[in-house]
């Protein structure tokens, strides 16, 4: 690196070579070929670095060309028309997708006639009687064994009163009585805490249905008035069936899936 300005001084005083411009022009023209030769001949890591730099420049050049080619006139069908049109007063609001009436009433009637329901859990593990009940020994010498205590979650209606303790065979402890269930809507994927109206069917047998025992797979009827569903005839739907999906005696709560 020159220390000082003697080079510039001499250029200023004596001028440049007579063929300086031509030589400069021709050297610049040869640069391109030199660059290409270097890129082809260099091996190893240096070659890779050169190739990477070249590629980046090529991509940038392509981008600028595409930008210049874009015309200023707007083309038709530029803004795509989206689905789900809403009126102006709903445009700035995020609306949570709400539950519609999803099943046809005719289909429902047909299903009810056939007695078959499309349930999310068609098969459940059968619960044996000794798992369901615990034998309670009573009497002065604790020899009588005719009483049973239910070990699973139960539902008793709001107007429930126990039979006189001397005569009741099945004890349903208050700790295992539930009134509400966490019901998930299968399409909306949102869960509501809804009141239970009754136990429709327990897959383990009609005795358990009549007792109101809720195990995994049993069908319960829940109060859906807060969902705001309306039938095509204009009536408000307030009760729907749901199937229990967990073991309530282990979790302490009833999780169910709404049957639509």
Partner 1 sequence: MEIDTDTAVEKRVIINNVMCLLTDPDGAPLGAPMYLPQNIGPQQLQLIVNQLLRNEEKLPYAFYISDEELLVPLETYLQKHKVSVEKALPIVCQPQAVFRIRPVSRCSATISGHGEAVLSVAFSPDGRQLASGSGDTTVRFWDLGTQTPMYTCTGHKNWVLCIEWSPDGKYLVSGSKSGELICWDPKTGKQSGNALIGHKKWITGISWEPVHLNAPCRRFVSASKDGDARIWDVSLKKCIVLSGHTLAVTCVKWGGDGVIYTGSQDCTIKVWETTQGKLIRELKGHAHWVNSLALSTEYVLRTGAFDHTGKHYSSAEEMQKVALERYKAMRGNAPERLVSGSDDFTMFLWEPFVDKHHKTRMTGHQQLVNHVYFSPDGQWIASASFDKSVKIWNGTTGKFVTAFRGHVGPVYRISWSADSRLLLSGSKDSTLKVWDIRTRKLKQDLPGHADEVFSVDWSPDGEKVASGGKDKVLKLWMG
For partner 1, the binding residues (CB under 8 A) are: 77-79, 81, 83-89, 91-92, 98, 100, 225, 228-236
CA distance 246 to 216: 5
Q: CB 140 → partner 1: shortest distance, Å? A: 59
What's the rounded Cα separation, in Å, for the pair 245 and 220? 11
Question: Would you say 61 or 236 has its CB closer to partner 1?
Answer: 236
Which of 1/88 has CB closer to partner 1?
A: 88
d(CA 136, CA 159): 26
Calpha distance 93→247 (Å, rounded): 39
Give min distance, CB of 84 to partner 1, in A: 8
CB of 228 to partner 1, least distance (A): 4
Phi and psi torsions of 175, nearest 5°: -65, -25
Between 49 and 230, CB nearer to partner 1: 230
Are residues 259 and 242 in contact, defined by beta-carbon separation less than 8 angstroms? yes
Q: Would you say 69 or 78 has its CB closer to partner 1?
A: 78
How many other CB atoms sit within 10 Å of the CB of residue 252? 11
Q: How far is the CB of 222 from partner 1 (least distance, A)?
A: 17
Q: Pick the closer one to partner 1 by CB: 80 or 174.
A: 80
Q: Residue 12 or 235: which CB sits closer to partner 1?
A: 235
Give the shortest CB-229-to-partner 1 separation in angstroms.
Answer: 8
Interatomic CA distance for residues 149 and 135, integer angstroms: 6
Helix (H) or strand (E) holding 22: helix 20-41
Report the candidate in 236, 242, 234, 239 with the shortest Cα–Cα distance to residue 224.
Answer: 239
Distance in Å, CB of 256 to partner 1, minimum = 22
- CA-atom Rg of the chain in angstroms: 41
In the bound state with partner 1, the residue whose beta carbon lies nearer, of 214 and 258, is 258
Tell the smallest beta-carbon distance from residue 154 to partner 1 (Å). 32
What's the order of all strands across the beta sheet hosting 170-171? Answer: 133-138, 144-150, 170-171
């Amino acid at each position: 690196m020159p220390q000082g300005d003697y080079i510039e001084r001499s250029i200023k005083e004596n001028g440049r070579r007579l063929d300086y411009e031509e030589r400069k022009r021709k050297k610049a023209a040869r640069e391109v070929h030199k660059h290409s030769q270097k890129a082809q001949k260099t091996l190893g890591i240096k070659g890779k670095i050169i190739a990477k730099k070249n590629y980046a420049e090529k991509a940038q050049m392509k981008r600028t060309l595409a930008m210049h080619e874009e015309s200023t006139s707007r083309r038709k069908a530029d803004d795509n028309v989206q689905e789900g049109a809403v009126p102006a007063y709903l445009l700035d609001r995020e609306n949570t997708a709400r539950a519609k009436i999803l099943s046809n009433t005719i289909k429902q009637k047909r299903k009810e006639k056939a007695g078959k329901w499309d349930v999310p859990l068609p098969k459940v593990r059968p619960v044996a009687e000794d798992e369901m009940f615990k034998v309670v020994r009573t009497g002065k010498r604790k020899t009588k064994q005719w009483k049973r205590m239910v070990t699973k979650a139960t539902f008793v209606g709001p107007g429930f009163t126990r039979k006189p303790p001397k005569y009741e065979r099945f004890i349903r402890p208050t700790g295992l009585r539930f009134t509400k269930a966490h019901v998930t809507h299968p399409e909306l994927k949102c869960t509501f805490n809804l009141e239970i109206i009754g136990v429709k069917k327990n897959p383990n047998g009609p005795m358990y249905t009549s007792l109101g025992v809720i195990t995994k797979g049993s069908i319960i009827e829940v109060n859906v008035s807060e969902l705001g569903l309306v039938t095509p005839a204009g009536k408000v739907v307030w009760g729907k069936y749901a199937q229990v999906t967990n073991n309530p005696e282990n979790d302490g709560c009833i999780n169910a899936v709404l049957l639509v």
